[in-house]
Structure formats: structure tokens, C-alpha cells
Amino acid sequence: MARACAKRRPAATMIFAAVAGEEQGLYGSANLAKTLKARNVTVGGNWNNDIVGTGKSQPFAPINDYTIRLFGASAFLPNASTAAQLRTVAQIGGWNDSPAQNLGRYIAEIAAGAAKYVGMQVALIYRADRFLRGGDHQSFLTEGFPAVRFTEAVEDFTHEHQDVRVQDGVQYGDLVEFVDMDYVTRVTKVNLASMWSAANAPAAPQNVTISRRVGFPAAARDTPLEIVNNLSLLRWTASNDSMVAGYELVWRTSGALQWTHSLDVGNAANVTVDLNKDNYQLGVRAYGKDGAKSPAVWPVPSLT
């Protein structure tokens, strides 16, 4: 994948890294994430591939050669969030709209759009990782960067975290003979399509907010009537990125995994829509002249 990307220069830097010490304490990834943070590098996302070798996990489950799981942390990790941030997320229902989850939506959307090329379904899972488990992407989450984890559909535990041995007639260990190269190729295509798209898309909008007006009836004659409505007003900082051609508002119901609707708002830095913020999750993304889009950004409440 790195060799393929090296043939053309992307608009943004792509870093391919293999990190050590994951099982001993995320040492390699923690060092990389802390280094990037210390140097004030803008990190659009971390694609972590860990246990992506096969869709064949029998006898644990049926063969699933065409699905890859994508884990994205719900809201914010407690050790990377302030109490005020967590209260805000709880008050406005943002548990499934973290930067990591919106990166996951972006990856899944790109993979679906390139389905004939990648040949793989991306299964979005709104957890930081598997049940009570972790990985190197969490080092990036801790530093405040969007990060997701790819893992095969159903794991075969005889071939991970095992000493190489034969026991009771069963071969244990992470051996190349158990790697399905066709499966790994499809996983690689999902990574390549989404990473290349992100690296060549315009920068995502910054400082995206949504008005705190919640539609209470006017309490007095001098209360502005514009407060009495169920409209949603979003604002953001227009980017100076020359690649930005405009912005889109996206939305979905709270129970939907993926964005289902969009509205082109051109070069505006705000939009008011007749969508009740109680019933919908909203976001804003940038698009380029060639149609390339950034991941969506979830709005935080503003004072006005």
C-alpha cells in the first residue's frame, strides 16, 4: 500500500507505521501519538489494523470472508475528556458522534462507494474496541486524535496471543499458513481507498456549533420571537484551504448508523434548517471541486 501511494503525491501527509510493544503497554503507538501531539501536528485520523488476517474462524463461527469490523469509540474516552465535555455529550445525546465514529462513517461510506473495487463490507461497531480489550489506536484517542481499529469479523483465538505449539492435535500460534492473503488484500483496499480519499479531501470545517435555542415559549413580551421555534442553526469557521469548494449539512435519525441525508450550502459559514435537533443528529463536512469530501464534524452547543 505504501508503494502504491508513493507513485503519486497526496495533498496531505500519509504516515505508514509499524509499532512495537502493543501487548506490553502500547509503548510504540503511545510514543508516536505523543510525538505528533508535542509537535502540534494536525492528525486527521489513525487507521489501526490489528488482527486482520482471515475471515475463516471455524469452529467458532461460519466463514465470513467479506466483512471487516471497524471499531470507533463512543463519544470520548474518559481519560481523554473533561467532566464538562462528558456532561455536554450526555445532555445533547452525542454518544455516537465522536470524531472517531465520524471517521468510521467516512471509511464505511468510501468503501461502500467503491464496493466493486474493495469487495469488502465494513461493519461499524460503536465501541472503542472489543469487549474489555484494547489496541494501539487508543494511544491516539488518548491524545485527542480520531482513531479507529480494523479487526476481522470473528477472531480465532488459537492463532493469537499463543505460543506456537501443537496441543491435543490442534496447531496454535500466529503462523503465515493461517493468513488468507485474499482477505488481507480486501482489507488493504478498504484502507487504501479511504486513506487516499481523506488525504486528498479538503480540510474538515472547524469550530462547528449549533445554537442552544431549544424552543421554549416566550416567557415575557420582550423575549425575542426568534427563540420560539424548532429550527436548527449551525455555524462554523470557513476554511482557508484552497481545496474547499463548499460545505454540506448532513443528518440522520438518532438510531441510524450512517448519514442518510445531505444539503449543499455552498460557501456559507452557517445554515438554518427545519430539522428539530431533538430528533436528528447533524453534522457539517467540506467538499472539494472534484467532489471529494471530508469526514463530517459534529456540532457543539453555542451560547447563541
Q: At the top level of CATH, which class does the domain 206-302 belong to? A: mainly beta
In the chain, where are the structural domains located?
2-199, 206-302
Beta bridge partners of 48: 149
Total Cβ atoms within 10 A of residue 149: 30
3-state secondary structure of 196: helix
Predicted pLDDT of residue 62: 65
User: Parallel, antiparallel, or unpaired for β 121-125 and 67-72?
Assistant: parallel
89 CB contacts (<8 Å, ≥6 apart)? 75, 76, 95
232, 276 Cβ separation under 8 angstroms: yes
Mean pLDDT per 10-residue segment, the chain (304 residues): 92 96 91 98 97 79 85 68 76 87 97 96 93 93 94 91 95 94 97 97 95 67 64 92 96 94 97 93 97 95 80
Cα separation, 125 vs 131, whole angstroms: 11
How far from the centroid of its chain's Cα atoms is residue 220's Cα?
44
Amino acid at 64: N
Q: What is the pLDDT of residue 297?
A: 96
129: left (phi over 0), alpha (psi -120 to 50) or beta: beta
Q: Residue 219 has what pLDDT?
A: 63
- Asked if 2-199 and 206-302 have one fold, the answer is no
pLDDT score of 90: 79
In the chain, the amino acid numbered 227 is I
Specify the pLDDT at position 227: 59
pTM, entire model: 0.91
Architecture of the 2-199 domain: 3-Layer(aba) Sandwich (3.40)
SS3 state at 37: helix
Q: What is the crossing angle of helices 99-113 and 181-199, to 10°?
A: 110
Tell me how many degrees the CA angle 268-296-128 measures, rounded to the nearest 5.
160
pLDDT of res. 214: 64
What the block records as the C-alpha cell of 16 is 505508514
